[in-house]
A and B are shown apart, each in its own frame.
Chain A
């Protein structure tokens, strides 16, 4: 059974800092790993999707890496801004028809 853990549970940083969010998963047999952002009271916005054959994906100030062998993914946010404040979720896409297994999320606060 896949289990996904995200560390830290919460993170508060000043604007402009570079930061790393961590995600680990127990079963390395995944199809993909997806990072989401959730604003309070809103749905999930997909940020990055890394296929199992890939090592990383980049979008703007975001970079996500995947190391299947060690069961880890990281989301790197460069030059953080207050608008980046949200809950960040990682989800492992299993081999069973693509269902996602989610971590608990990291609550990020970027203060001016």
Chain B
């Protein structure tokens, strides 16, 4: 069984540009989460999808971040326009049930904004 995959593994962009990160969850997992770790800080929650619906987006830092999960399969996280403070590692996770279920993480996308 394939795990959670993320693309790209690394992205280097200029301030003001747009970047789109992609996450493919484990097949059959309705729950998809985005997290990120910025330099020197702990991993923090961004948002949670149940199928194609946003269940909790309380961690999204501002309106420059847009997450979608069309059709309830893969998800994209777009940052537009990117700022220097957006640099970090963006993780995606999925789980079968929400609440008490184990979350499985992808390898992350390292984003560097210059």
Q: How far is the CA of A102 from the CA of B46 in the complex (A)?
A: 12
Q: How far is the CA of A103 from the CA of B41 in the complex (A)?
A: 9
Within 8 A of A (CB), among B10-43: 31, 33, 35, 41-43
Instruction: List A residues at the B interface (Cβ < 8 Å).
Output: 4, 31-32, 34, 36, 42-46, 49, 51-52, 89, 91, 93, 96-105
Q: Are A46 and B45 in contact (CB under 8 A)?
A: no
Interface-centre pick from B33, B42, B50, B108 (highest chain A CB count, 10 A): B42
Knowing A44-B91, A44-B105 touch, does A97 contact B100 (C-beta < 8 A)? no
Nearest A residue to B55 by beta-carbon distance? A97
Nearest A residue to B46 by beta-carbon distance? A99
B103 at the binding interface (Cβ < 8 Å): yes
Q: Are B105 and A36 in contact (CB under 8 A)?
A: yes
Q: How far is the CA of A93 from the CA of B50 in the complex (A)?
A: 16
Interchain residue pairs with CB less than 8 A apart (16): A31-B99, A32-B100, A34-B103, A43-B91, A43-B108, A89-B43, A91-B43, A93-B100, A98-B95, A98-B99, A99-B48, A99-B59, A100-B93, A100-B103, A102-B43, A105-B42
Chain A residues whose C-beta falls within 8 Å of the C-beta of B59 in the assembled complex: 99
Q: Are A102 and B91 in contact (CB under 8 A)?
A: no
Q: Are B99 and A100 in contact (CB under 8 A)?
A: no
Chain A residues whose C-beta falls within 8 Å of the C-beta of B42 in the assembled complex: 4, 102-105
A111 to chain B, nearest CB (A): 25
Chain B residues whose C-beta falls within 8 Å of the C-beta of A91 in the assembled complex: 43
Chain A residues whose C-beta falls within 8 Å of the C-beta of B44 in the assembled complex: 102
B72 at the binding interface (Cβ < 8 Å): no
Q: How far is the CA of A106 from the CA of B40 in the complex (A)?
A: 13
Q: Are A96 and B56 in contact (CB under 8 A)?
A: yes
B108 to chain A, nearest CB (A): 5
Q: Are B105 and A98 in contact (CB under 8 A)?
A: no
Interface-centre pick from B31, B33, B41, B102 (highest chain A CB count, 10 A): B102
Knowing A97-B55, A98-B95, A100-B35 touch, does A46 contact B100 (C-beta < 8 A)? no
Q: Are A42 and B99 in contact (CB under 8 A)?
A: no
A53 to chain B, nearest CB (A): 9
Within 8 A of A (CB), among B69-94: 91, 93
